[in-house]
Amino acid sequence: MNDRPAHRPNAAQSWPAAQKRAAHRLLYLGLVVFGMGQTMLFAILPSGGRALGLNETQIGSVITASAVMAFLAAPFWGRRSDIWGRKKVIIFGHLSYAIFTALFALGLELGLKGVLAGFAAYMALVVPRVLFGMLAMAIHPGSGAYIADSTTTQERTGASAMLGAAMNIGTILGPALGAALATVDLVAPLFVAAALSALMTGVIWRRLPETETLPTAHAVGRISPRDPRIMPFAILAFATFVVAAMVQQTCGFFLQDRLGLDTREAPRVVGVALALSAAAAILAQIFIVRRLRLPPLRLIRIGLPLGLAAMILLIAGRDAALLLAGYAVMGGALGLLTPGVMSGASLSVRPEEQGRLAGVMGSAPPLGFAIGPLLGSALYQVQPLLVFCVSAVLLAGLSLYAFRLKMPKPH
């Protein structure tokens, strides 16, 4: 006898199309703001950290500290969204983003002005990022579970792609806005990102409808990453984000050193590289994922070899054009991989498990970004090209693994 509770679709799946589009657009807009702030951070932190006297490993540890806490907190926020509702968790995440991004910017500003120095300056960066990882990352499992609640199985891969596209639009807008504001003050872009997130908190509170929290959710229990339905997708997500984190974290150092850029030139070139990567991801997510409606495993099997090609370009590149092309190809690869992996996992579990699934899968990116920056920084200090050589080997292995996978069925 099957004693599992009967499951049924969430009522939000049958919302009128206009209501569903409006709700999703608010989620996407919130992730645009999130992406802007993250890109500004990646562009500013390498130069700003060096100006404070921090080495590459210390700078990488600032990102790692946040990512470790996000990894630990993501399953909690996925479960919490089943209890509070998706909307409250998303609002809490945006408010936390605003507060701790502002505190991080203040710490960096005080360090650059000489008010804080040495260990105090370092901790002024680490502590806000730790709290950011604990609290602000609630945005991701909340948004992922909201999308799962309000989409049918046919809609979910495309909607998941748009979550990624929204983040990538933010990473394009972030460098452009950051470059303009950085002429006033290096840290000004982060204060603006905090203000925009505070604004999004109010807009989402006023305008985002809540989805139904299924009453059977609490009877299901926790979902483990070792669950055979989702373990392959968890492995792919984790490994992919380790590579992405290594490449992104070392981008500022690599382009500055490889092209001989000074401290003022480097953020602008890094911003261009990240913007091109994000633009390629958006094109992949909108024109390939949404328009062609390829199944999750097909997206994964295209994305992994494309990432391998990007590593080859970065290893071989000697001038700006080839290096920027490598970052663009990597963005396209991630644009296919992320919705493929996330929607593949979502389609493998039952409707009442989506909140917990969003928490488990939401922990994979921060775990990747916990390990990736430290590993990338350590490899970079030994030999810069080791970052891309190790990534190439990992992507080649994942490609072989992906071609052996089959989509599991929820049970």
Domains observed in the chain: 18-207+227-402 (1.20.1250.20)
Tell me the pLDDT tens digit for each residue of 169-225.
Answer: 887 777 667 767 766 778 888 899 999 999 999 999 999 998 876 544 444 456 777
* CB distance 314 to 375 below 8 Å: no
CA distances from 239 to 113, 114, 188, 316, 383 (A): 39, 39, 33, 23, 21
List, as one string, the DSSP characters of 58-97: HHHHHHHHHHHHHHHHHHHHHHHHHHH-HHHHHHHHHHHH
Least confident of 87-91, 266-270, 299-303: 266-270
State the chain's maximal CA–CA distance in angstroms.
69
Closest CA to 98 of 125, 71, 63, 131: 131
One-letter identity of residue 331: G
Q: CA-CA distance, 158 to 151, in Å (whole number)?
A: 10
> Average pLDDT, stretch 281-295?
84
Describe the crossing of helices 139-149 and 153-182 by its angle, rounded to 10 degrees.
150
Q: CA-CA distance, 244 to 235, in Å (whole number)?
A: 14
| This prediction's pTM | 0.75
What average pLDDT does the structure give for the chain? 84
Tell me the pLDDT tens digit for each residue of 88-119.
Answer: 999 999 999 999 999 999 999 899 888 888 88
Q: What is the structure's pLDDT at 394?
A: 94
End-to-end CA distance of the chain: 14
